[in-house]
Amino acid sequence: MGGDHGPKIIVPSAIDFLHRNPTTNIILVGILDTIEEELRALNFSSNSRLKLYGASEVVDMDESPSHALRSKKDSSMRVAIDLVKNGTAQACVSAGNTGALIATSRFVLKTIPGIDRPALAVVLPTINGHTYVLDLGANIDCSPEHLLQFGVMGSALVSSVENKSKPSVGLLNIGEEAIKGNEVTKRAAELLRTSGVNFYGNIEGDDIYKGTTDVVVCDGFVGNVALKTSEGVAQMLAKYLRQEFRRNLLTKLAGFVTLPVIKAFKRRVDHRRYNGASLLGLCGIVVKSHGSADSYAFGFAIKRAVEEIEGKVQNQISEHISESPHPSLQTEPLSK
């Protein structure tokens, strides 16, 4: 169990999730002594839906992915992914080292035929609901074909977990017109237009939060910058608002009167409710929780994994690929 807080937040989060979801089974993977200590601290008595599985080591948060992959074959991360591979578990949820999680998942589970690289997809709030954005940083230098694959995977994800038959897919760009963008986005737009997904066209940064499309496709560099920038804006505005309320006695009084409104607002924009990025395109379900997630936030990452299991996201991606008329998505059978 990795992440910034390890078993201290993951164990109570899992126990809480079990209590609230009577059909879910959870396997806690990690160093058994530590997990058992946490369970004792929670006065936890046994539950047939909770199992423990031992691992002798943990991938460090700043460890290089290749080192983790090569040298930590009994890490909690590796063991948890192995459990997905051999069918013992239906999904892996981790708050650990993102790079190591991507590298290990890809190595152990392999990608779905037609998909070159897994992508990180997150849900973000919009004015009227929410939208799915990918990639968020798993793929830095992307080809037009990769963006096409992200579009197909995002569409499949929304179909499976939201039960929408033709989710709209937008390509994040710097203008709506087809001539806008760099060479990669221009070509990606052409591919998406003939891919079989419900391609809306180019969208701009503000369209993410307007909820213009169900899915937003971008390369991992742009997606990561957009996400972090959003966090920065929200933090700054929150700080400004706090400062204005603390300016003098009258404004403090106004703040007191406004408390229920501010609380409702805070609940609505609480980023913990959007915790859990789907690592899409693998032969297996892997969800990445934010490393600094608390117990409440980690529960949303578990919930995401359960939704993907129920929505059979992997099958949906395979179906979307096989239905696409696009030749670059079609893979040759291994033997004829």
Which stretches of the chain bind a copy of itself, using CB under 8 A? 125-127, 137, 140-141, 172, 174, 181-183, 204-210, 218, 220-222, 224-237, 239-241, 244-245, 247, 250-251, 253-255, 257-258, 260-261, 264-265, 268-269
CA 100, 298, 51 angle in degrees (round to 5)?
85
- Residue 200 C-beta: closest distance to a copy of itself, Å: 16
Query: Which residue matches tokens 């004792």?
Result: 40
- Residue 81 C-beta: closest distance to a copy of itself, Å: 23
CA 136, 77, 122 angle in degrees (round to 5)?
20
Give the length of the chain: 336
Instruction: Kindly provide the residue ranges of all beta strands, DSSP E only, lying in 146-275, ordered along the sequence.
Output: 168-172, 198-203, 215-217
- Residue 101 C-beta: closest distance to a copy of itself, Å: 15
Q: Which is nearer to a copy of itself, 17 or 200 (CB)?
A: 200
Q: Which is nearer to a copy of itself, 113 or 255 (CB)?
A: 255
- Residue 203 C-beta: closest distance to a copy of itself, Å: 9
Determine contact, residues 160/244, Cβ cutoff 8 Å: no
Q: Which is nearer to a copy of itself, 41 or 174 (CB)?
A: 174
- Residue 24 C-beta: closest distance to a copy of itself, Å: 31
- Residue 187 C-beta: closest distance to a copy of itself, Å: 13
Residue 248: helix, strand or coil by DSSP? Answer: coil
Q: Which is nearer to a copy of itself, 30 or 65 (CB)?
A: 65
How far apart are the C-alpha atoms of 320 and 281, rounded to whole Å?
A: 12
Q: Which is nearer to a copy of itself, 54 or 255 (CB)?
A: 255
How far apart are the C-alpha atoms of 270 and 256, rounded to whole Å?
A: 20
Q: Which is nearer to a copy of itself, 268 or 336 (CB)?
A: 268
Q: Which residues of 225-257 are buried (b: 16+ CB within 10 A; e: fewer)?
A: ebbeebeeeeeeeeeeeeeebeeeeeeeeebee
